[in-house]
Structure 1
Amino acid sequence: MDMEIVRWLDQPVMLHSSRADTCKLTAEQCAYRIGYWRYWYEADHRFALPTVYLFIAAIALCTIAFWSLRLAPSGLRKQAWWQKLVSSVRFIAYRRYEVKALHTGTSSVAVVALLIIGAAFFLAMTLGPSPYYWPNTRTLSYGSSPPLATRTGWMALACLPFLIILPTKANMIATLTGVSHERLIVFHNWVGWAMFALALVHTFPFIIFHIWKGDMVLQWNTSVVYWTGVAAIIPQAYLQVMSLPWISTESTCDRNRYYEFFKATHYFAAILFVVFFFLHCDFRLTSWDYFIATGVLYTLSFLYSQIRTYFEFGVSHRASFALVSDLVMKITVPIDTTWQPGQHFFLRFLTLGPHALTAHPFTICSVPSLKRNAEKSKLVFYVSPRGGMTGRLASLAAQQPNFSVPVLLDGPYGGLKTKPLHSYDHSLVIACGAGSALSVGLVMDTLLHLYRTPKSDEEGTRHQMQVVIATRDRQFTEWYEEALTEFMEENGISWDANSIQIMVYLTAVYGPQAINSSDELDARAEKGLVENTGPPTSTSGRIPFKIVCGRPDISAIVRESTLRPGVSVGIATCGPAAVLKDTQNAAADAQLRILSSEAGAREVYLHSEVFT
């Protein structure tokens, strides 16, 4: 086996290849050959390291912004110039734009700006230096590696550690920047495309050069480098093309199957890509250092999550399942740990066949127990089954209520990274579609805060919370009230109707046609097909709900909340893409009002939850 491995690499195998160079050209030609942007033996320093510095600079910028906002003293927070600076940062983090020609929207201004800077860097480093090809002749050779191919290859290699670490659940980038791992996926995707584009530009100059030289077939037949390169770029192409959001049929069911197939195969493709890329680099200069860095970072991330799963939480936990409505399933896991509202856990159910190999994220809909001598806290999740694993669990729960299965836990992740919602004067929670359960834990946390906070004689100083929920589940208020009532009874607190208002928009039936799935609800909501159909009605239970048949006007609700003069407003939202976009743009508009000193809130913070 060792002999088979040896054939893939030059001998003797070293960590770094030698930088020793002998130039047999004229003095003038040698001087040209070792130019700053042309010298092959320093190409890793000229192109790979600046690429690393680009990523580090972006991470450092986001880190400074995050920790400055988080650690700023209260006196500084009250300064008008500081509030305007914070609002300017939040504006570019929230604001999105619609691209009507493509029938889609952009990422936030901040994300787009980082992508533009990255694209400008790679274009400048690729097309700026000259020449693209050596001025070789049939009798004169400056080298067999075209400068264009050399520099793009090193830049692509330098992207590798960041490409691999960005999507991991526990990674240092998320810790430093305060950006949860699921939000870093967008950068993982774009770094992948940048690396793929650089790999293509790295590949074709070699083909052109050897076709000109007349030995392309010979190189392919005798050089391992060429076909390991091809073997690396094929799975890389598969990963990039398969990640395109529009490569799917119009059927939601087919789209889900397509995603599940990609999810099941992308780890295998990624391993093939990294292995052949490693062999392709063949310890040239410092190339293997980037694989070492990648391995260390990924291993640390993987071990952290696995150690927490098996040593902190163990393998003895069981998850129980019960249908609380026709459309919602409750998952309960007794556990002795803590978490924050809005965070999520990854659950791996061990008795569901192939599904036992994958962990699935669920937003926590409970808060830790406050009683020291009480039973364990309970992780509670309210899930809208959509087929696949959750559909199978819902089917089992219907046949056997409160059945349980062994479960492995990994978390918590995500959540609000600055301060809790109840620390603001006014909080607004917008939860729609499958994301409506996000509000449960936030309401519980606010109830605890209100219970601990003595009532003030001064009107308007007590925290106010507004909850807006859009759901097609007509039994929503029943299980929602049951969850909050059970929580209040366990902790000996009562409902504060003067401080918390919950408005539920029922979106189940419109005209002669009913909405038959959560996916369809989300799709219709994104297309604006759900309209408000009447005035609100109130329930008379222990927890008063205001019920409206229709779809909430998200922009108007956010605007109304942020126009309150002189208050700080914390907003949390979870739902379809259209809901997130409307909330983010309305919050961005509020930042502009702060910057222009218009009447309204003095501070507006937004947390957009991706997982449901």
Structure 2
Amino acid sequence: MNGIHTATLELLPSGLIRVAVPTIVKWTPGQHVFVRFITSDFHLLTSHPFTISSVCRDPDATGRASELIFYIKPRQGVTARLAALARQRPGCKKKILIEGPYGGVSAHHLARFDTILVIAGGSGGGFSLAMVDEALRLTGLTSQGRSGPQGRRNLQVVFSTRDPAMAEWYVEEVESRLNHSTELLLDAEHGYETSVSVHITSRPITSQSMATVDSGRGSMTEDRKKMPVESATTGMFSLNVHRDARPDVSGIIARTIGVNQTQTAPGSQRKRIGVLVCGPASMLHDTRNAAAIAQARAMEGDVEELYLHSEPFAFNR
């Protein structure tokens, strides 16, 4: 156990609960912790695993403690109670006990990759945001002469959800990180060619069904109106929103391997690719199978390593 901490709860328009915990605990990207919420009922005896959705910062450099950030999708029991509490008292605080962290991807290993492909589904989006933050942090270290691949690298982010409100939340979060990142602007030689692909898997709402939704849950109408354009390119990154479309995980991984093979100059160092996935069981299954097939082909070409890290969906509940 890492002692008692104070968590701040915020219920987001997407329905997720944002939990922020200032701490001196250190962690690496993709790790998870077990949390016990100090309550007066039997839930005090139960611990809940949550994937960390933030990057551990150096307090000496930032002047303040790092924050553990979790994005929790309310289900039943304690998470439903937390959502009700955050709805009634925005910004309320709750005492918690933290055990961990466990698992994850070491920053040293992540820094080795020429290409990072992040695939996430549903509330696993929090995992992918942490990976984006870490990729940007590593870019800053590389530009300062620290170890890492030389030259321009590639960051691909694929997020899938059936909920338009969740898609809106994700677009806002990832755009905020990329737009305000100083690391992307530091040095063109060490930055990332960055692309984000957001897939909304539910069918578009018709005018008739929209009227029904509007009478029962008015927020859905607002979500449809506020969704961004289908695609945008800023010069630093590209963003594409796909409606009524599931991501072709197998094709995405195969294309990533193919691009790296064609971009490798004769006599240059072979490329290293990191595939990081967090989502439902079906997404993890598809990604593992696609990575296994692509890995066999990659070893015959100009790709030196295809690394796969998968994080179970349960760690975001």
TM range (shorter): 0.7 to 0.9
1:560 corresponds to 2:251: no
Report the equivalent of 1:318: 6
Offset at residue 402 of structure 1 (A): 0.9
> C-alpha offsets along residues 552-597 of structure 1, whole Å, 9 cap, x if unaligned?
11111111112221421110001112111111111101222145x2
Cα 1:479–1:424 shift into 2, 3 Å: same
* Residue pairs, 1:341-380, within 5 angstroms: 341-351=29-39, 353-372=41-60, 374-380=63-69
Opposite residue 480 of structure 1, the aligned amino acid is E
Report the equivalent of 2:223: none
Opposite residue 78 of structure 2, the aligned amino acid is M
Offset at residue 509 of structure 1 (A): 3.9
Secondary structure in structure 2 of the residue aligned to 1:366: coil
1:408 corresponds to 2:97: yes
Distance 1:507 1:498 in 2: 28
Q: Is the CA contact (8 Å cut-off) linking 1:344 and 1:361 kept in structure 2?
A: yes
Structure 1 residues 322-331 or 570-579, which shifts more?
Answer: 322-331
* Residue pairs, 1:458-497, within 5 angstroms: 461-471=151-161, 472=163, 473-477=166-170, 479-481=172-174, 484=177, 488=181, 493-494=183-184
Cα 1:561–1:485 shift into 2, 3 Å: closer
Opposite residue 476 of structure 1, the aligned amino acid is W
Offset at residue 504 of structure 1 (A): 1.3
Opposite residue 343 of structure 1, the aligned amino acid is Q
Distance 2:167 2:135 in 1: 25
Secondary structure in structure 2 of the residue aligned to 1:591: helix
Offset at residue 470 of structure 1 (A): 0.8
* Residue pairs, 1:395-544, within 5 angstroms: 395-416=84-105, 419-454=108-143, 461-471=151-161, 472=163, 473-477=166-170, 479-481=172-174, 484=177, 488=181, 493-494=183-184, 498-510=192-204, 536-538=230-232
Offset at residue 395 of structure 1 (A): 1.6
* Residue pairs, 1:83-482, within 5 angstroms: 309=1, 313-315=2-4, 317-351=5-39, 353-372=41-60, 374-416=63-105, 419-454=108-143, 461-471=151-161, 472=163, 473-477=166-170, 479-481=172-174
Offset at residue 429 of structure 1 (A): 0.4
1:577 corresponds to 2:266: no
Opposite residue 41 of structure 2, the aligned amino acid is G
Q: Cα RMSD over matched residues?
A: 3.1
Distance 2:136 2:52 in 1: 16
The number of aligned residues is 274
Distance 1:542 1:505 in 2: 21
Ranges in structure 1 where 5+ consecutive residues have no aligned partner: 1-308, 517-534
Distance 1:399 1:542 in 2: 40
> C-alpha offsets along residues 93-115 of structure 1, whole Å, 9 cap, x if unaligned?
xxxxxxxxxxxxxxxxxxxxxxx
Offset at residue 486 of structure 1 (A): 10
Q: Percent identity?
A: 35
Opposite residue 560 of structure 1, the aligned amino acid is R
Secondary structure in structure 1 of the residue aligned to 2:53: coil
Q: Is the CA contact (8 Å cut-off) linking 2:155 and 2:192 kept in structure 1?
A: no
Secondary structure in structure 2 of the residue aligned to 1:587: helix
Report the equivalent of 2:265: none
> C-alpha offsets along residues 403-437 of structure 1, whole Å, 9 cap, x if unaligned?
11100010100112695333111110000122121
1:605 corresponds to 2:312: no
Distance 1:543 1:562 in 2: 20
Opposite residue 177 of structure 2, the aligned amino acid is L
Cα 1:570–1:407 shift into 2, 3 Å: same
Cα 1:486–1:552 shift into 2, 3 Å: closer
Instruction: Specify which structure has the higher proportion of strand.
Output: 2
Q: Is the CA contact (8 Å cut-off) linking 1:325 and 1:479 kept in structure 2?
A: no
Q: Name which structure has the greater RCO, CA cutoff 8 Å, separation 6+.
A: 2
Cα 1:544–1:589 shift into 2, 3 Å: closer
Secondary structure in structure 1 of the residue aligned to 2:285: helix
Q: Is the CA contact (8 Å cut-off) linking 1:466 and 1:502 kept in structure 2?
A: yes
> C-alpha offsets along residues 109-136 of structure 1, whole Å, 9 cap, x if unaligned?
xxxxxxxxxxxxxxxxxxxxxxxxxxxx
> C-alpha offsets along residues 158-181 of structure 1, whole Å, 9 cap, x if unaligned?
xxxxxxxxxxxxxxxxxxxxxxxx
Distance 1:398 1:486 in 2: 29
> C-alpha offsets along residues 250-272 of structure 1, whole Å, 9 cap, x if unaligned?
xxxxxxxxxxxxxxxxxxxxxxx
Secondary structure in structure 2 of the residue aligned to 1:412: strand
Q: Is the CA contact (8 Å cut-off) linking 1:538 and 1:547 kept in structure 2?
A: no
Q: Is the CA contact (8 Å cut-off) linking 2:38 and 2:44 kept in structure 1?
A: yes
> C-alpha offsets along residues 210-260 of structure 1, whole Å, 9 cap, x if unaligned?
xxxxxxxxxxxxxxxxxxxxxxxxxxxxxxxxxxxxxxxxxxxxxxxxxxx
Q: Is the CA contact (8 Å cut-off) linking 1:477 and 1:545 kept in structure 2?
A: no
Cα 1:393–1:323 shift into 2, 3 Å: same
Larger radius of gyration: 1
Secondary structure in structure 2 of the residue aligned to 1:430: strand
Offset at residue 370 of structure 1 (A): 2.5
1:546 corresponds to 2:243: no
